[in-house]
Structure 1
Amino acid sequence: MLLLFSISYILTSFISFFVGIYILYKNRESLLNKYWSLVSLSGGLWSLSLLMVAISNREKTALIWQYILDGTAIFIPIFFFNFVLILINEYQSRRFERYVIWGGGIMIFFLSFTSLFKKGVAPLMGFNYWIQPGPLYFLFPLFFSSVVLFLILFLIKGYKKSIGLKRNQIKFILLSAIIGFSGGPTNFFPQLFNIYPFGNFLVVFYIVGVAYAITRYRLMDIKVVLRKYSVYLATLSSILLPAFALKYYVNLYFPRYSLIFDFLILVAAVSAFPVFKNYYYRAANKYFFSSLYDEREVMADLSEKLKSTLEAEKIFRYISDTLVNSFHAKTVSVLIFNEKIRAYEVKYDFGHQGGEESFTEERGFFTKVIQQSRAIVVEEIKEQAECRKYKHTFSMLEKYDIDVLIPLNVKDEIIGLLALGPKESGDMYNHDDLRVLGVIGAQAAIAVENALLFQETKEFNVKLEKEIALATRDLRDANAKLTKLDQAKSEFISIASHQLRTPLTVIKGYVSMILEGSFGLVDETKQGVLRKVYESNERLLKLVENLLNISRIESGRMQYYFEKKQLEDIIADIAADLAGAAQNKGLFLNFLKPAGLLPAVFLDEEKIRQVITNLIDNAVKYTKEGGITITLEARGGEIAFCSADTGVGIRPDDLPNLFRKFSRGTDMSLVNPGGTGLGLYVARNIIEAHSGRIWAESEGAGQGSRFCFTIPLKHAVPQQAPAAPRTGLK
């Protein structure tokens, strides 16, 4: 009997120490965990001390352990009483009771070191040593029993007042306390009633049971426990019983082949285990646990439904139906976060009779607590230190009887919440439930986000159609006004350009005559000034011509006169005209004329001259050293012109804008301040009128550039081109 006694106390001591350390490690900040850790550690020390007293070979050693035993045993019910008060949320309101119990415990603690409490230790009932009580020893079991009775009454009171998860927690702990404290006090029996302490074996169940409740801070559903253990027990029984029977038969009749049969039996047992387990699992669900759900079936069914629609209302209903049918929740609400008002709006509700339509976030509660991508038990987080300040939020959750919150997170952003009420059965949401709910939340979040985006798109399209209808009317009016303004602008530019071109032409003529000496000799200083006047006048004439061309282009009055021409002759003529300007800057200007005669091109010679002159002239202006090379070739049904220079080059980000009106490359004004950004725009329109294309190429700043255009050999004449020879102003 002593051996069995020793084994039970070694086991109790080991488990108690382990649980005490583990509980404290799980949450060092929780007062609940701290007190249960003290209960476990003092229980472990009490169990170890009792064992050492019972098996000690020396009276002095046994007496030392007895002092330790009495000191720790006194505080076990005190620690547990404080633990119970915290659990039922009456720790602060029961200060008087706590002070009384602590005072009584401390008094008995000091009394335990006197002969009034114990006379010593002596052999008793097969134990090497056991306590010999003194005249006041009865105070200890009286105090112990009173505190235990007191805390059990508090647990019963808390059980009646609580609901949902808290109710199940208290029930679990109450049962554990009754089992444990009905076994522990039997240690008073030998010294008081000469009865063996038969209840020691129950203490370990009390320690482990309550520890499990704290670690999870929610209770394991009894049905889930029964299902799991019954399935594994049936599976192991179905495999091990035939295996042992077969092994016995083999050892009896075929001992020589025992090793081979052992290996075959092992392989068969391992292979048969999953088959039997699945069979008993299905049988347990079908015949004994019909209310339990198959999580794979639930997830697959919900996934199919969510994929079938983008309508938000349908998706909300599918999610709610799944939660109600699978978990038997009394209420389900879908709340979507509205960024504008910083509140959660109720978009779908099942089970509630009316209520608020939105809930304002309380100082970041949902952001801090819910942004964990897992199902949250309200009772679990309520006691956490960082959550105690959210009294209004918890009051609201209690008002609507919310047990579980499931965040709908997409890329670490909360888009909403699923709020579940208690189960119809009154059972709590166990660990497996919360795990499945977390997966459902992740799956639902994506579907809800897609539905909200789809709904937002539909609403935006409706709004857009209305806005477009209103804007179209305004645009028509504005367009009519702009057309009139554009016509007035074009007419003004045309008239102004005509009025400017005549005096500019006269100025050009007179300055040219003065430079040529028609009015007498001019000294070099005056010649330099006159040349600048001449060059500025040329720029103005070119600007006026470009403005006239732009006016004609935008008003549709640009006239083209197409004839078949040899493009190489035109280029050679222009290159000869600009060769002097290139030589003055120390640049070469080479035209690599094709060896053979190229096909004639249908073009407007004056307009093409303007384009080519502009491209080569720009190359001269923007090249400081090196020169310009001009090429012309026929390829693929078109004729291609290119002007390549060794100049300042073009930045990659400037290339797309070069042929736009008034657009110039970055820092080009530093090289040629007189540029306007109109020449390339006019050139593009002229080339496009010839059904060709024009572009620029450059490796970057300082790398030179190439300006090219192509004209198709077979070119259709635009309808506005007159058949008669050109006359008048173009």
Structure 2
Amino acid sequence: MSVEIYTKLIFLVGLSFTSFGLLTYTRIPRTYSNKLFGALSLGFALWSFSWFFMLVYTQNDSVALFWARMLNFGAIWIPILYSHWLLSLLGLQIRRRMLIICGYSISLIFSLFAFTPLFIKGVHPIFLFPVWPDPGMLYLWFIGVSYIGVVGAAIALVAHKFSGLSRSERYLMLYVLGFGGGATNFFAMYNLSIITPTGLFLGALGVLVAPYFFAYSALRYGLMNVKIIFTEAFAALLVLILVARSLTSETNTDLTVNILTLASVTVFVYLLVKSVIREVEQREKIESLAAELSSANEELKKLDAAKSEFISIAGHQLRTPLTVIKGYTSMVLEGSFGKIPDSIKESLNRVLIASTTLAKLVTDLLDLSRIESGKIRYEFKEVKLEDIIHGVLQELEETAKVKNIPLIYKNENAADSRMIGDFDKLHEVVINIVDNAIKYSEHGSVELVLRKLGPGNSQRLALSVKDSGIGVKPEDIPKLFGKFVRSENAKRIRPDGMGLGLYIVKRIVEDHKGHVRVESEGVGKGSTFSVELPALS
């Protein structure tokens, strides 16, 4: 690589650093670490442009000396800005405040001597470069204190925390490599034979990719809107190149072509940048909404847990008095405490029906609470389904009498109705279905039929409950077993229901390795609920 090509490339590096620095201040949120990133980029930009002008004015030693000193003036502030930014990204800027204060104090002291012979005393040719800074007596102290001392301390702190860093934070260690290219310049300034012309060029070339390496690492670490910075920096660089090409056109034809190309590319990069900004804004909006949704979801989970706990406590507190009311009312009606007048019987029947309905609601709420919390428990043992059916019919007998709805039970071929199940939970299944059949029927009867289906070891007990009630719309059937779901007809006839019974029925039946379904020919034509459970062969 020739010095001329290298000079042009270092100018592009300066443009890149300037773009990153300015765009960091104007395009991304002005957080503490982002401001430091912008300042660091501008420090590198000053260093790069000074290097460029030093190589341009090789024929005038005094001008070249000025830019050599300006180059090193920028270099004085880079170590502390780099270290400060590195510590801020790890959240150590408060704990390591003294290191940062010392670093800025040291940089301020050295900057006072940056334009004196004590720091840079002249320029001289070296290898392929026509001019190179000649260090003064303070320069070696600068290298030792700022680069080795301050930067070394910051790197040591990062290395100390390395094992505890997350994957993204470990990308911070890559920034150490950004100083590798510049470090080779120190050998050349002291004419050490350890560095060769090829090594010097390779080291210097590392500086050329530094801005893109920094930006890439920053993107991986998570600086916001770095994608916009990349796009705008690329667009600005492309437009600048085309402007320079237009200004150096040799013929009118070239000028026309270059201007048209510049206009077309300008429109293209404008649309490109606008598209990228829109994409980033949309992504950030989606991320913000997702964070809000996640927070709301956590709150809902807490509320749901509180609701379940309340239902559980309230249910347990209500169940005991309701059981007592049901028990004593039933005993009074049966004459256990002596004969009672017929006029009182009707009122006691209403009390019994109301307490039975309320007890069923409490049971449903408790079951719902256990299902949602994953605490529902079963006591599986050998039971007879027919015994459960008889118990339910006896329990709902008075309810059916009040509405003048006959309860008809048929056992077609299930003389042996044994199965493995939880007696109380299966009782809830049957009472929920039969109670609904009575509740939503104004006339006719409720017919229960028990059958045994299938051969040998795969036999199933099938209970069907047919009513002549309000029926179900075809479109409502798929969602009828959902939680808190009720058909419009059901809400109209019984607005006091909660839509929990069938949800609990489905869950209990499925936990018994069975299934439940409903059939109806339509509104006003009744419905048939069927439950199938594994039989004990």
Query: TM-score normalised to the size of structure 1?
Result: 0.32
Query: TM-score normalised to the size of structure 2?
Result: 0.43
User: 1 or 2 for the larger relative contact order (CA 8 Å, sep ≥6)?
Assistant: 2
- Comparing both structures, which one devotes a greater share of its residues to helix? 2
